[in-house]
Amino acid sequence: MSNKTILLVEDNPDDEELTLLAFQQNKICNAITVARDGAEALDLLFGPDDKGGSISPTLVLLDLNLPKVSGLDVLRRIRGDARTKLLPVVVLTSSQEEQDLIDGYSLGCNSYVRKPVNFAEFLETVRQLGLYWLLLNKTPELPAAR
């Protein structure tokens, strides 16, 4: 699994640390790039000049409540660009809002997961996400971002 990169888009430092720890404890050794707001995520994916970003992740784990650019707007942009429209995006959020769930799927997320509050449950959730999206799931090769 280690040759597949993950883009974690998370503004909460505690949730970022828990997610990274959960991957480590579950021995998921993929490279993980962290974007701490929606604008940073878009720059990493598309570059500030929109000609190409600095990473081509295999999976995006996307929080919704982000500063600068919302998670839903990041998702909208990912799905609206030919280079990333097939990129797997898992919404990983603490939002309990039904409208966020509806909007996430309406905009094309591949999965919507509410972050468990319990640490053991969170570890198991991240383990399952890693195994499924990085090992079992098959995706087509994405066009070059540059």
Q: What is the DSSP annotation of the chain?
A: -TTS-EEEE---HHHHHHHHHHHHHTT----EEEESSHHHHHHHHH-TTSS--S---SEEEE-SS-SSS-HHHHHHHHHTSTTTTTS-EEEEE----HHHHHHHHHTT-SEEEEPPSSHHHHHHHHHHHHHIIIII---PPPPP--
For 6-136, CATH gives 3.40.50.2300
Tens-digit pLDDT profile for residues 43-64? 999 988 777 778 889 999 999 9
Task: Determine the pLDDT at residue 32.
Answer: 93
The percentage of residues in the chain with a pLDDT greater than 70, rounded to a whole number, is 95
Task: Determine the pLDDT at residue 40.
Answer: 96
Global pTM?
0.90
